[in-house]
């Protein structure tokens, strides 16, 4: 019986699965970066800036906060002064002011996670900045729910042309076993660099009927739902099962999901015409998956009332999730296991 370790937020859990029940284990092949290589990336940023440096943290994750802390120490250790530290969300362990926009003429380092994104396909500093523009996101959301992906790409390209080129992006690629890469580039290049890098990490898989997946080092439900969207691309449409590991120690992660569990919005067609609220794409996405017949589950510490309101089955142990799949599909059914589902694109072949 093989033991597969999967990341569950702050810890790891083991999935004991019989060989005859294992379809495949999809995960990032790349090893975490060594300390020497990480230091070289910090040095690349240090060499690209002079004078006071503003630092902006565009991702509220713990890994982004850790990278920001190390970068501050590195810059200060080499005589670079930090003009200010700003964040778009509360960041544990860092005294950061609310981000109001990039200061004109100041050298700025923007820190984000390179990952997948249901609306923009990829997440980077550029798309994180786009998400701060409510009108832009309203237009992007409308394009998303109507499947107008080329229109969204045009929005991204148009936005990139207007970005302040006096800024440096630091894109974190986090795997289940640690940081796989730190991409350093000027911000207008961030989307194209991240998309190329993540495409190179893609896992090609045939369609399957059941998946147990881990987003990796993620702590919010929105991260797990991004991983869910990624996995759904290789799931059989009418009776497929996806069960996500989603500890959610940092909560839901989006206002629209909070509205959903509180009953302020519903899973109806009317939600598609709702004025954009942060995370509304996840509500639409879950509704679309349920309409396709997908059976969705969460191994989570969220209250069961929240899980039911979101339209998921709740599991407290990964063993119970596996037992549910085999009970539905048969005791010799083969389950696909996916690690790093937040970062590694799954491509259907």
**Contact assessment for residue 182 and residue 171, using Cβ atoms and an 8 Å cutoff:** yes
pLDDT at 29 over 80: yes
Q: What is the CATH number of the domain that holds 219?
A: 3.90.226.30
The Cα-based distances of 191 to 45, 188, 266 in angstroms read 18, 7, 33
Supply the pLDDT for residue 272. Answer: 58
Residues 252 and 179 in one domain: no
Q: Kindly state whether residues 321 and 190 are assigned to the same domain.
A: no
Count the domains in the chain.
Answer: 2
Say if residue 278 is in the same domain as residue 210. Answer: yes
Least confident of 4-8, 56-60, 272-276: 272-276
Beta bridge partners, 3, equal 16
Same structural domain for residues 114 and 12?
A: no
pLDDT-derived band of residue 271, with 50, 70 and 90 as boundaries?
low
List pLDDT tens digits, range 226-269.
999 999 999 987 889 999 999 999 899 999 999 999 988 877 65
pTM of the model: 0.93
Residues 178 and 257 occupy one common structural domain: no
Average pLDDT, the chain: 91
Given 182, 199, 216, the domain boundary residue is 199
- Rounded CA gap, 39 and 19, in Å? 41
Residue 23: pLDDT over 70: yes
Choose one of 180, 199, 218: the last residue of a domain.
Answer: 199
The contacts of residue 47 (CB under 8 Å, 6+ apart) are none
Examine the domain organization and report whether 310 and 213 are in the same domain: yes
Q: Is pLDDT at 204 greater than 80 in this prediction?
A: yes
Note the pLDDT tens digit of each residue in 296-333.
Answer: 999 999 999 999 999 999 999 999 999 999 999 999 99
Domain boundary among 163, 179, 199: 199
Same domain, 45 and 180: yes
Do 40 and 183 sit in the same domain of this protein? Answer: yes
> Is the domain of 71 the same as that of 219?
no
Same domain, 86 and 170: yes
* Domain encompassing residue 147: 35-199
Residues 186 and 307 grouped into a single domain: no
Q: Judge if 46 and 143 occupy the same domain.
A: yes
């Amino acid at each position: 019986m093989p033991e597969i370790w999967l990341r569950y937020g702050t810890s790891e859990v083991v999935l004991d699965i019989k060989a005859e029940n294992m379809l495949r284990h999809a995960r990032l092949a790349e090893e975490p970066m060594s300390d020497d290589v990480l230091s070289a990336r910090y040095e690349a940023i240090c060499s690209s800036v002079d004078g006071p440096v503003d630092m902006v943290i565009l991702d509220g994750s713990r890994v982004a906060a850790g990278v920001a802390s190390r970068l501050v120490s590195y810059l200060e250790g080499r005589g670079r002064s930090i003009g200010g530290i700003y964040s778009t969300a509360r960041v544990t362990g860092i005294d950061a002011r609310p981000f109001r926009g990039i200061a004109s003429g100041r050298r700025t380092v923007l820190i984000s996670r390179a990952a997948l994104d249901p609306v923009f396909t990829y997440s980077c500093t550029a798309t994180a900045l786009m998400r701060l523009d409510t009108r832009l996101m309203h237009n992007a959301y409308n394009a998303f729910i109507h499947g107008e992906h080329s229109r969204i790409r045009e929005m991204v390209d148009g936005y990139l042309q207007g970005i302040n080129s006096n800024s440096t992006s630091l894109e974190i690629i986090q795997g289940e076993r640690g940081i796989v890469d730190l991409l350093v580039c000027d911000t207008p290049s961030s989307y194209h660099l991240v998309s190329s890098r993540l495409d190179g990490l893609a896992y090609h898989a045939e369609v399957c009927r059941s998946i147990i997946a881990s987003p990796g080092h993620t702590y919010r439900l929105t991260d797990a739902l991004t991983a869910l969207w990624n996995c759904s691309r290789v799931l059989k449409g009418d009776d497929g099962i996806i069960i996500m590991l989603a500890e959610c120690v940092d909560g839901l992660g989006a206002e629209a999901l909070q509205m959903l569990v509180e009953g302020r919005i519903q899973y109806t067609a009317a939600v598609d015409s709702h004025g954009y609220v942060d995370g509304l794409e996840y509500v639409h996405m879950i509704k679309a998956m349920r309409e396709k017949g997908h059976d969705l589950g969460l191994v989570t510490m969220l209250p069961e009332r929240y899980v039911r309101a979101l339209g998921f089955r709740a599991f407290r142990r990964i063993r119970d999730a596996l037992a549910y799949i085999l009970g539905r599909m048969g005791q010799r059914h083969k389950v696909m296991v996916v690690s790093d589902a937040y970062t590694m694109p799954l491509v259907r072949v």
